[in-house]
Structure 1
């Protein structure tokens, strides 16, 4: 594939109740996605090439013909090499999926899964690239229902750990509008540890620093605001980014498209 032809295209398809399916079709060699999470289920098909990714600390590889399913709020990153690469990703709201699959809304499977199913991957890719809503919905429901298994874990907010101190800090960092307002010494004192011990706890539990986590929370909040139709400039300011260019760079590193392209898809 010619790198100059690389592109990503995202669209949002309305669902009942004001929700939407987000569909990303990407053909971008030599890409690295920064660590991030989605509030939705991530269902993907590798159509060409290979993608190395890590989800919840586990390194995995997905190749052409593979299907990938990741639960909401699973912290992950990904990268592809110089070879030709194409993938189709669908982001589906948990409540919608739970209702369609007969799951309780407050419970969900929590394990990222990769499996080889060339026929299903091709069907997902074809429906995504040709904007065929009903075939896409059918393959998404079949894929998640088959790969995710029965719901067994309680529904949880982003990056929940078994450490109550980290969970408390995550809630504080998710609410921070600007990294400049975060005083790690104060936060550490609130949970009874030193600033240095706070960093060690956070990295051990989540694999990133408290400030990196806060930035990801702001980017995730920005994605929600863009989906509601807010202008990129106002979202950048509301979510504490230095300027719109800074916001745009980080948004694309995490979600594969710029805020303006995301708005166009919405």
Structure 2
């Protein structure tokens, strides 16, 4: 496995950095200010966290809380590993949760791993930052449940209706769940849970659906796909085409030609 590293800073609330690496590096003991949420895709990493030894493997999601010393090395001498890491602001979770996670940093449940992988998948496509934000909130919920601090969602509420009205009115705009939550006076995780429980769909999916529906009407009127993408809130024509095909099973050009 050749050494390869990529790092970037997406414009997603709470997310400081994304780090992908393939190498056989051994880290000395150190601390950092951020939460590290790590997926190992190949190989395995042995690490000490707060003086206790653990293993990060492809079958688990690993959490490294801020301010707690840890190291890292290949589990098999001479071998390498490939990992994907999300670095999240230190206040992503409170200090009490960090202390509990330090004793249990390994999440083996499928929802936690699936949500983390969907964050990385969304970040691979410009324009899907709200989807990445949604799945980061899903990761947060699985971590809270793992730490014994889960929250429940109510069904139909005025809050959910207010968010739907916002999405309907501003579907062509770019904004985050965190910005919507601040405007509505709610925590982002609570806002997503209430909306999803009330309407059976996540806010980012609802927003994409509104955009795709508007795009379909414009394409039917003969508008060019590039113009439609700009008018309906998509990042670009490729972003429109990917979501349009997922919803309708055909390309925007097919609808326009028909």
Larger radius of gyration: 2
Structure number with greater CO (CA < 8 Å, separation at least 6) is 1
Tell me the TM-score normalized by structure 2: 0.46
Tell me the TM-score normalized by structure 1: 0.45
